Amino acid sequence: MTTTLGPIELPDWAWERAEVRQALRARDVGAVFRYVQQYAGASQSRIATAAGMTQARVNEIINGRREVSRLDVYERIADGLRMPDDARHLLGLAASREKRSGGAAFDLAAFPEVVRVYAAQNSAAEEIQQQAREAQELDVLAVRGLGLIGLNDSLLRACLPREQGGKGLRIRVLLLDPDSDALAQRAAEIGESAEALAGGVRLAEARLRELADSSNIGVWRYRMLPTWRLIRTDSTMFVSAFDAGWEGHESATYKVMETPHGPLYRGFRRMFEAIVDGAQRTV
C-alpha cells in the first residue's frame, strides 16, 4: 500500500515486465514514470514527492521535454520508487543503500565528479568525439582498441586532426598483451579464441604504429586482467567496465570530471599511470 508521502511501491511483477526492463536499460525515465502511473496508480504529484522533484519537472520528463542525466537524480528516483536491486542494476546503479555496509551513505550531489551516466558507449559517442577533438591529451585503456582508435572509422581515430597528422595531441594507448595469460582468460570470458583476440590487439598496434611518424603517440602492452576501460580527454574521463561475457563498449559509461578533491578522477588517472609504468612500450 502506498502512503501519501512515503516511497512508491510497485508490485514485484511490474519490475519484471519486459517493457519496464527495457526502459530501465535505456534510462528512459519518462517511460519508467509512465509505467509507475500505470502499475501503481500514482499521480505526477505523487511521483514528484517520491523522487524529490517538482510536479512540473516530472511532467516535462514524462512528455519528453527533459531528460535525466545526473547520477544523484537516478539514485533519488530509484530510492523513491523502491526499485529492487536487479532494476537498479539495469539502470546502472549499485544495490540499494539499505543493503550496503561499511558506514554511512552520502548524497552523490556532494561528489560532483560523475556528471553523466550513459547506457553504453554508443550513447556517449558524440560527446566523447567532441571532447577528443578539443583535447591536448588523449589516454586510452582498452583490450584490443580496434573500435576505439585502431581503425580508420574507429570512435577516436576519426577525431584526430588529420590535416596536422595528429600533431599537437599527445596520445597514449594501453592494450592487453597478446602473449599474456590475462588475454587467454579474457578470450574465454567473451567466448572468443585467444588467437583471434591476440590478432585483434596486434592489428590495432600495427595501425597505431602508422601514426608514429606524424603524431605524438605511444602504445604500451599491459598484462593484467582487464577491468576498467578508460578514455581520458584532458580533465574529463569516460569510464566503463569489462566483465565475463560483457564487452567494455556494452557497459554503462560514466562521465567523470576532475574536481579539486574528488577521488574518482584522481584514482583512475593514478591507476593509468601505474599501468604505464609497469607495461612494455611497443610504439
Q: For residue 220, give every residue at least 6 positions away whose Cβ sits within 8 Å of its Cβ, in sequence order, or none.
A: 172, 173, 174, 175, 275, 276, 279, 280, 281, 282
Residue recorded with cell 585503456: 141
Task: Match domain 1-92 to its CATH number in 1.10.3720.10, 1.10.260.40, 3.30.230.10, 3.10.20.80.
Answer: 1.10.260.40
Q: What is the per-residue pLDDT across 146-160, written as a single tens digit (0 to 9) for each?
A: 999 988 889 998 887
pLDDT tens-digit series, residues 103-144: 444 444 445 688 788 888 888 899 999 889 888 999 999 999
Domain limits, CATH 1.10.260.40, in the chain: 1-92
Quick check: 169 pLDDT over 90? Answer: no
Beta-bridged to residue 171, according to DSSP, are 138, 217
The pLDDT assigned to 112 comes to: 64
The pLDDT score that the predictor gives to residue 139 is 97
The amino acid occupying position 31 is: A
Residue 182 CB neighbours (<10 A): 15
Q: What is the mean pLDDT of residues 221-228?
A: 96
| For residues 24-46, average pLDDT | 93
Is pLDDT of 101 > 50? no
pTM of model > 0.75: no
Give the Cβ contact number of residue 138 at 10 Å: 23
Longest dimension (CA), the chain: 68
> pLDDT (tens digit, 9 = 90+) per residue, 230-265?
999 999 999 999 988 778 888 889 989 887 777 899
Location of each CATH 3.30.870.10 domain in the chain: 121-281
Q: Quickly count: other Cβ atoms within 10 Å of residue 211's Cβ.
A: 19
Residue 111: per-residue pLDDT: 52
| Fold classified for 121-281 | Endonuclease; Chain A (3.30.870)
pLDDT score, position 161: 65
- The pLDDT value recorded for residue 2 is 42
